[in-house]
A and B are shown apart, each in its own frame.
Chain A
């Protein structure tokens, strides 16, 4: 199974950008990189995904290293509502395995 490594927790100040790192050194050529987040007492929700190129959507940006062995989720301006657990996942043939994720704390 495709594995990812993330820091257990991170802190950021409100209204500042947040960079959440993820290592996936065993990624294969067809694995998509997905990010999800889980707010307290809710199921996970999709944030963004990518294969090789950097991606932007209304929630976040995804920066993918040239060798694809790491990626960074960027929240451009964190709010208190962004406090959640963020999961970096490799989708290999639609078998989607979550790791432990990074718990993001936002300081007012």
Chain B
């Protein structure tokens, strides 16, 4: 039981490049989330998915797209990266509406 896994762990992009952050959970949870955390700040919700086939915007969705590929996987795509998107990205899944499990995070730098 690996929990929530994220790939890659680190990534450096140039402004304008695109990339997809991958997230998978093996706990059969319905809801999944993407957050970003800037240095010294709290987490901000980008997008979430309450069930397979549905996605909803969070607090800061601009510049991102998501795909809930199946129940296990929820990916986050940056179409044209900007320096303002430099951050640590956390994926999470939710058990029984009360306990979120977080992945280890992806540290992204956009130059």
By the criterion CB–CB under 8 Å, are B45 and A97 in contact? yes
Q: Determine the distance from Cα of A46 to Cα of B43 in the docked complex, in whole angstroms.
A: 14
A-B contact count (CB 8 A): 55
Known: A43-B103, A94-B31, A94-B50. A99 touches B98 (CB 8 A): no
Interface residues of A in 79-100 (CB under 8 A from B): 85, 87, 91, 93-100
Neighbouring B residues of A1 by C-beta, 8 Å: 59
Contact of B56 among A32, A46, A95 (CB under 8 A): A95
Q: Determine the distance from Cα of A85 to Cα of B43 in the docked complex, in whole angstroms.
A: 11
Query: Which secondary structure characterizes the binding site on chain B?
Result: strand
By the criterion CB–CB under 8 Å, are A96 and B42 in contact? no
The count of residues in chain A whose C-beta lies closer than 8 Å to any C-beta of chain B is 21
Known: A43-B90, A43-B102, A43-B103. A98 touches B45 (CB 8 A): yes
Q: Determine the distance from Cα of A97 to Cα of B47 in the docked complex, in whole angstroms.
A: 11
Q: Determine the distance from Cα of A19 to Cα of B102 in the docked complex, in whole angstroms.
A: 25
Residue B58 at the A interface, CB < 8 A?
yes
> What 1/0 flags go to A67-89 for Cβ under 8 Å of B?
00000000000000000010100
Neighbouring A residues of B94 by C-beta, 8 Å: 94, 96
Instruction: Considering the complex, give the chain B residue whose CB is closest to the CB of A34.
Output: B98
By the criterion CB–CB under 8 Å, are B100 and A36 in contact? yes
Interface residues of A in 40-60 (CB under 8 A from B): 43-46, 49
Distance in angstroms from B5 CB to nearest chain A CB is 12
By the criterion CB–CB under 8 Å, are A49 and B99 in contact? yes
Residue B97 at the A interface, CB < 8 A?
yes
Instruction: Considering the complex, give the chain B residue whose CB is closest to the CB of A49.
Output: B98
Interface residues of B in 77-108 (CB under 8 A from A): 90, 92, 94, 97-105
Instruction: Considering the complex, give the chain A residue whose CB is closest to the CB of B99.
Output: A46
By the criterion CB–CB under 8 Å, are A96 and B45 in contact? yes
Residues in A lying within 8 Å of B, measured CB to CB: 1, 32, 34, 36, 43-46, 49, 85, 87, 91, 93-101
- 3 closest A-B pairs by CB: A43-B102, A98-B43, A46-B99
